[in-house]
């Protein structure tokens, strides 16, 4: 039986989908899914890691607003550019598949309106993008 790593792919311009990764080639699979040569990891609440393009800001990747809002909702305010991949992580730092509970938490985060404190933090983080900031101010 082949084990898979259940993840969520958060594309800035398309849909948010589940993605099955192969444990033996996790780094290559994530790089290919993100479309990058180097990635970074943003640690979120509930043992969720978000793999992102390490050079997304400087290589012309688009702002990933859904992933940016997610990082703010789950405790690590970060502005994300390009595609992101959410996975689970063990206390030892091993990448594993998202649990059902984590998947539901991500789905709820994407579906909910951010609270006022999160919106304030988003406005600060996204201040270089006045059009997006005005959108948040009008929520």
Domain assignment present for 123: no
Domain assignment present for 124: no
Separation in Å, CA 125 to CA 44, 70, 120, 134: 17, 13, 9, 13
pLDDT digits (tens, 9 = 90+) for 88-139: 999 999 999 999 999 999 999 989 888 899 999 999 999 998 888 888 777 6
pLDDT digits (tens, 9 = 90+) for 31-74: 999 999 899 999 999 999 999 999 888 888 999 999 999 999 99
Domain assignment present for 99: yes
Domain assignment present for 136: no
Q: How many domains are contained in the chain?
A: 1
Domain assignment present for 138: no
pTM higher than 0.85: yes
Domain assignment present for 126: no
Domain that holds residue 52: 5-113
């Amino acid at each position: 039986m082949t084990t898979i790593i259940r993840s969520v792919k958060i594309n800035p311009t398309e849909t948010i989908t589940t993605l099955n990764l192969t444990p033996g080639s996790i780094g290559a699979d994530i790089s290919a899914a993100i479309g990058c040569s180097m990635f970074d990891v943003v640690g979120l609440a509930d043992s969720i890691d978000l793999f992102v393009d390490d050079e997304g800001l400087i290589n012309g990747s688009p702002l990933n607003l859904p992933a940016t809002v997610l990082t703010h909702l789950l405790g690590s305010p970060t502005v994300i550019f390009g595609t992101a991949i959410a996975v689970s992580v063990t206390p030892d730092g091993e990448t594993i598949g998202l649990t059902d509970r984590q998947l539901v938490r991500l789905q709820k985060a994407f579906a909910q309106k951010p609270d006022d404190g999160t919106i304030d933090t988003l406005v600060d983080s996204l201040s270089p993008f006045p059009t997006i900031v005005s959108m948040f101010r009008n929520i």
